[in-house]
Amino acid sequence: MPTTPGTVAWHEMDAETALDRLGASPHGLTHEEASSRLGEYGPNEISVARGVSPWRILLHQFTSPLIYILLVAMIVTLAIGHHADAAVIAAVLVVNAVIGFIQEFRAENAMQALLEMVAPRAAVRRDGERREIEARGLVPGDIVLLESGDIVPADLRLIEESNLLVDEAILTGESVAVGKNAATLETGKGASLGDRLNMAFSGTAVASGRGRGVVVATGSRTQIGLIAGEMQATERALTPLQTRMKRFGNLVSVVILAVSVVVFFVGVSRGQSAGEMFLTAVAVAVSAIPEGLPVVMTVALAVGVRRMAKRNAIVRRLPAVETLGSCTVVLSDKTGTLTENRMTAQTLAAGGARYSFRGEGLDPAGEILGADGAQVDPEHNEPLRRALLAGVLNNEADLRRRDDGDGWRAIGDPTEVALLVAAGRAGLDRETLLDEHPRTHHVPFESDRQFSATINRGPDGRESVYVKGAPERVLEMCDRAIGAGGETPLDRESILEQADELARDGLRLLALAAGDTDEALDATRRGEPAGLSFLGLVGMIDPPRAEVRDAVRGCHRSGIRVIMCTGDHAATASAIAGRIGLEPDLEPGATPEVVTGAELARMDDDRLREVVARVRVFARMNPTQKLRIVGALRAIGEVVAVTGDGVNDAPALKAAHIGCAMGQTGTDVAKAASEMVLADDNFATIYAAVEEGRTAFSNIRKATNFLVAGAIGMVLAVLGAFVLGTPIPLLPAQILWVNVVTNGIQDVAMAFEPGERDQLERPPRSMREGVMSVYLIEQSVLVGMLFAVAAIGAYAWEIHQGMSGEYARTAATTMLVVFLALHIGSCRSEFRSIFRKSPLSNPVLLIGTLTALGVHVGSMYLGPTRALLRFEPLEARSWLTIIMFAPLVVVLVEAHKAVRGPGARRARR
């Protein structure tokens, strides 16, 4: 009976033992055995839970505490016959639900994208013959045949390979295809996926070569299947805005209920009828609800979506807009996010000197510089030219200008492409050189050999050997070196020290050698080159994006910590971290601390929380470990943004407060698991998006301040009238009119307010901080008290002048509308004076305020609104009184900013 797949570390055993444990043979299973195992293990496909239904998504739009309050208010107003009020509240609910539904419905397709990564068909040996079958029919023990261009259909323990290179970037994040080796590994149980060279994983792509492997895991037991399971088990974190609005809604609910209950029972205890007091309590509740807040929040986020899209950040879920503004940590992938996702030759050590290359991307035009920074002419530098020539002639890649003439197109292994680009900067063209030096023999690269070699015939008819490979392996073939003055004895120790130095800089190294003696030619034809001259070392790296360093520095200024988490090697990660300034306080010459996956595997959760609080570089990580890091960061109170492009990033992208996928190089799985997609794959776009996120929340906070001040004013006006024993100065319909119609026009326009100049210099907001700060609550209470006094005063004054109750209420309502029209200007900045903000910098708000005033004035003269709201046209005398007292709100807010704002507090310190 074969061992159950998924329970064994297959990379730790030899191929024969693996076949034995699986009850398989190198010739494949029989049809009957495969059918039996298919019934036992099930099809090779990832099981996916049912997606979220549209109805569930729609109902989810009504789960906010503020929405609960509005629903209750709508039901109560319907019950007491206030149908117009109920209709206005219903309209608010519908607008909010429709916008939220559209955004969320479009985002629920993560698992479908993951399924599309699995290969549809596979080549296997069944009954001793090669057959093509549907990949879903694979079972443990099947022998799968791999060729260049194939998608690996299941997790395989390789039993045979020839020049097999597999692109595992979707699982490990490595930018270079991995050379596979069927031999038994000695890496131990802590080996990361990238170190399991005798395994091929489902969903990865064969870059070149051939191989044969036995299926050890199918479906949900494969590495990609385990990621699917993690994605399904991982719940999306509540965004900071959702958390804050939940707390705010709960607080508003408690306050409204408490005030309404107190009003009802106090009134009844004073001899008022229960029916009359119930209507009064409803009026108080309606006046306290900031009905426009759900809509203004949705609109502010939608405006943020549009602004972010202009800056190449595509938001897929509305709450994510604000999340970046609250972000305290960006956990970034390296390959393709911080780097360009292409290998580049950085350094060439040849002839006792070191050279560097300067140019743009794949364009072979460029320069070669010496150690002193001066340009070098390869035509007059024989050691440099011979090393570059070897890198071109022993090369299987191709570099050509695109058909449209715009840019260059590379085909082949990234390291070989890098050699062609470097040679191009010396004026060496591969096609021209191959015409002049045709190849007569080739020893292809194999992972166990660690080198490749060619024999080429030169223009003079003489043949020469060219070798490239791992430095230690190539040095074994050499007995001399090419120096500035010709051939010199080989100093193996000096070259190895130089290789170690370059490797510590995070460079991937290739050694180059050549020879033209009969010994060298004969040995190469036997497959074991010898008697060669050492030409030099090429150091390559996937370089950081040009704009990343500035973006990282900007994140530091904004109080955001950037952490790199990659599947790549520790030395490479450390080198990139140093180049982009990931640790701003690092002393010159020092290297960032790096934690590897093997080290993290030995940590318990408490220790991991300590580590993530200070370490900024994590290397050789697998998907589960990246997910643990996100969990640890969340546990210590960080608001986490995660960037990534591969399938391996998907669980962490989903678990973060905001996942940011790459739009160009990112897999569909990563995009579907994310809340935001970076259309230009540029880390700097995140920094731009942070600014827009902070602007969105700032505008929500400003609108909330505006609405809450009005709500407090109306509650106090109703309570004040009740305490004074006078009629309520505003009817419930008039309160809704102010809250939803006139205020609603202005608070929605506040969503278009541009960001403030020092926004990115401020630290991220604490998760414990509410929608409104103590400073703004203080300001709202003061302004609300002024509103209440103004409303009661206007009502009492008009009654004193002998006007009717309806006229007096019209005057009180108009007083509030004009006060609020001026107050919205004061709310445009938390701390800056209204007189330092141009009205034209937000034309939408200016138009909205004038519209709100116009709509209110029109309502006093239009028949239907006059009847519905019980308004009467005001006399000039009343207008003059309103205009005279309205500026008091500006005076009050300006005085509060001057006395209690940050500038005043700094002056006192």
Any idea which residues carry the catalytic annotation? 333
What is 328-349 written as a DSSP string? Answer: -EEEE-STTTTB-SS-EEEEEE
Rounded distance between C-alpha atoms, residue 249 and residue 289, angstroms: 10
Question: Residue 896: what are its φ and ψ, rounded to 5°?
Answer: -65, -40
Residue 651 is encoded by which pair of tokens?
């669980």
Q: What is the dihedral of CA 252, 258, 259, 260, to 10 degrees?
A: 100
Chain centroid offset of residue 266 CA: 54
The answer to whether 889 and 783 are in contact (CB under 8 A) is yes
Residue 626 is encoded by which pair of tokens?
């990246």
Compute the C-alpha angle 201/206/209, nearest 5°: 125
The answer to whether 624 and 571 are in contact (CB under 8 A) is no
- Read off the amino acid at residue 736: L
Percent of the chain as helix, strand, coil, to the nearest 5? 50, 15, 30
Start-to-end CA span in the chain (Å): 78
DSSP SS3 for 132: strand
Rounded distance between C-alpha atoms, residue 810 and residue 817, angstroms: 10
**What is the edge-to-edge ordering of all strands in the sheet holding 561-565?**
313-315, 676-678, 658-662, 640-644, 329-332, 561-565, 617-619, 594-596
Question: Residue 348: what are its φ and ψ, rounded to 5°?
Answer: -130, 120
The answer to whether 611 and 635 are in contact (CB under 8 A) is no
Length of the chain: 909
DSSP SS3 for 82: coil
Rounded distance between C-alpha atoms, residue 370 and residue 747, angstroms: 62
- Read off the amino acid at residue 312: N
Question: Residue 772: what are its φ and ψ, rounded to 5°?
Answer: -115, 140
Of the candidates 240, 223, 44, 238, which has an alpha carbon nearest to the alpha carbon of residue 651?
223
CB burial string 152-185: b at 16+ within 10 A, e below: bbbbbbbbebebbbbbbbbbbbbbbbbbbbbeeb
Rg (CA), the chain: 35
Q: What is the dihedral of CA 668, 45, 16, 34, to 10 degrees?
A: -150
DSSP β-bridge partners for residue 199: 157
DSSP SS3 for 43: coil
Rounded distance between C-alpha atoms, residue 222 and residue 203, angstroms: 10
The answer to whether 818 and 886 are in contact (CB under 8 A) is yes
Residue 419 is encoded by which pair of tokens?
């050699």
- Read off the amino acid at residue 523: A
Cβ neighbors of 795 (< 8 A, separation 6 or more) are 721, 726, 727, 729, 808, 809, 811, 812
Cβ neighbors of 132 (< 8 A, separation 6 or more) are 121, 122, 123
Q: What is the dihedral of CA 519, 525, 529, 531, to 10 degrees?
A: 10
Secondary structure string (H, E, C) spanning 161-176: EEEEEEECHHHHCCCC
